[in-house]
Amino acid sequence: MPLVYRTIFTVSPPHDVIDLSLDTFSTWLAHKSGGKHVDVRRSGHYALDHRYTVKVIRHENPDEDIRFLRLKTESTHDRDGTVWRTVLTAVSDPGRASDRTVWVDMTADQPGEEPEEERLEVVRPKLVRSFLNAARCSDGAAVLTEEPVIVRGRDEQAVDALLAAIGDDTRRMAVIVTGAPADLTVVGWRAAMTQVLKFACGMYAGYVLDRAAQERVAARLPKDFDVPVGGVRTFRPGVRLSDPGDPLRHPRLSTRSMDAARTGGMVRSWVGRALVHSVREVILDAPLPGELRSLDSLLNEEEAELSALPAGLTLSPRATVVYSTESATASRLSVVPPTGQDRTTELTGEIKRRNARIAELEKERERLLAELAETEEERDQFQEQLRAARHENTWLRDQLRRIGQYALAGAKPPVAPSERPPNDFQELLERMTDHAAFPYLHMTIDDSLDDVRELSGNKKERLWATKAWEALRALNDYVRYQLTHPDNGKTLHDYLRDQPDGFHTIPVKRMAAHESDTVQNRAKLSGKRVFRVPAEVHPDGEVPMFAHIKLDTEYGICPRLYYYPDLGPGRTNRIYIGYLGRHLRVHSTN
């Protein structure tokens, strides 16, 4: 089932991690269930109502002073049938690395739904917030709090603690560091960033720096690891300050980007989506520590004992004890057996959920197979281009030898400039304005940057940003080819189908020279495709743009890049990029 939230942290003394977990969980559960309580003193399986069940798994070994606790809730959403599970695991095992650890997972299973393109969003988890507000919780040297920690330059210990958190090899989650902008106090900026990062609570350690702290941190970090004033730097685990390539792993939101995304202390929602996606993927995609994996297996076995008898769900103002034991390994005490009708209903629902899940997986398999076939086709094309380039290189060196240019024939070429694609759309936006990289392109999307930033945070973001980058290179090189070969007569379609030597292209099937007749002839639809251009291109300052590049073909967001070629004698000989964002409306979605 899809994992949508995870946090792992250590609770510092004097709190007892087991007692704190029991108290916090009980309070949270009572709030969630309208005041109902379960007996958390012993292992048991409880039904709060027809859609909400709780499991308590306690494993204790007094001789070795070992205590393990697992508290698990399962609820079904009334409207869409999504099954939500929250699992809290607490460890008290002195002498082990996992001692005093709390681990919280949330999963969401959507039966009968289309496969999600991205993980479900999770509101601020109150259970985790309660932990962070009740005790000092940490991820290695990084401190986890509901609000980012303020670091002032006059506090040398706070600066040292921040740098220790950044460089700590034991931490599992991201550290987000931001410098207060000039027009806001550090307290005001903390409030703004708390709101931006509210859905990532518990999955990151946050720090807000005043100007003096920014200067002190900048003096002790390499330049490429800078924290921009008013911007944001996300430090993923495993920072390598001495590695010149490592800064690329740690996303950076520049001052300019953040200034464009805020009005005073109000920050646009795309920033939060991008940051939350970044920190969430860090913890969700990382493997569990070995000790927790072993503990998980043990507690799963003991949970299976609780689940050996089915849960009879009965309505009651109090929790119904379905199964309860004195300890995880004790004999069973009492059982409330389900009726035959209840059991039939339960099994029927389970069969429906599993059949729906099978259908989802089949669709996902078909999608992945289609994507694999497309990737293999592109790979074959690139391999053929590589073979042809190597053959040409050998032939040219042979020609040089034949005319006596032996030294030149054996010379090594200079190191090729890096053409690494951008990691995300924020980096792509910054590169798009680089006239040295795209001298023949003109971006007119300044008034619709939110359409681009809306793509941030999707699990396909890097793929889409890469395809957009490739499309921009191909369009730029097409203009260059037209200017250096004025009599070639090639359309963009011809250029992409027959790649000239030394010029970038993309697979021709990504390009669409126009929209359908329905879209182009209906004002309601074609009007959505009118974008800005300079007055020298059209006196109205805008033109319809129907030509576009497809960055994805799957159902859903399916980003598109719309462009307008102004090429030929007496023209500007530029291609104008008017739109980059989700698929615009067509007749079928209108």
Residue with tokens 């890049």: 561
- Say what percent of the chain tops pLDDT 90: 47
| Domain residue ranges in the chain | 1-115+128-133+287-338, 136-267, 342-410, 425-589
> Would the pLDDT of 106 be above 80?
yes
Identity of the amino acid at 518: T
Tell me which of 136-145, 333-342, 366-375, 416-425 is least confident. Answer: 333-342
- Work out the pLDDT band at 314, boundaries 50, 70, 90: very low
pLDDT digits (tens, 9 = 90+) for 577-588: 999 988 887 765
- Work out the pLDDT band at 123, boundaries 50, 70, 90: low
| DSSP secondary structure string for all residues of 459-490 | TTHHHHHHHHHHHHHHHHHHHHHHHHSTT---
Q: Name the residue among 424, 429, 480, 479 with its Cα closest to residue 457.
A: 424
pLDDT digits (tens, 9 = 90+) for 428-472: 887 887 677 789 999 988 766 777 877 887 778 889 999 999 999
- Work out the pLDDT band at 34, boundaries 50, 70, 90: confident
pLDDT digits (tens, 9 = 90+) for 271-281: 888 899 889 98
- Work out the pLDDT band at 120, boundaries 50, 70, 90: low
> Would the pLDDT of 121 be above 80?
no
pLDDT digits (tens, 9 = 90+) for 61-77: 888 899 999 999 998 87
Reduced DSSP (H G I as helix, E B as strand, rest coil) percent helix, strand, coil of the chain, to 5 = 40, 20, 35
Its CATH class, for the domain covering 136-267, is alpha beta
Give the mean pLDDT of the chain: 85
Q: pLDDT higher for 319 or 161? A: 161
Give whichever of 29-33, 41-45, 158-162, 280-284 has the largest mean pLDDT: 158-162
- Work out the pLDDT band at 331, boundaries 50, 70, 90: very low
| DSSP secondary structure string for all residues of 251-284 | -EE-HHHHHHTEETTEE-HHHHHHHHHHHHHHHH
- Say what percent of the chain tops pLDDT 70: 89
> Would the pLDDT of 327 be above 80?
no
Cα(227)–Cα(229) distance, integer angstroms? 7
Separation in Å, CA 314 to CA 49, 53, 318, 346, 354? 6, 11, 10, 12, 23
Cα(242)–Cα(551) distance, integer angstroms? 36
Beta-ladder partners of 209:
151, 179
> Would the pLDDT of 409 be above 50?
yes
First to last CA, the chain: 34
> Mean pLDDT over residues 172-201, rounded?
94
- Work out the pLDDT band at 309, boundaries 50, 70, 90: very low
Cα(176)–Cα(257) distance, integer angstroms? 16
> Would the pLDDT of 156 be above 90?
yes
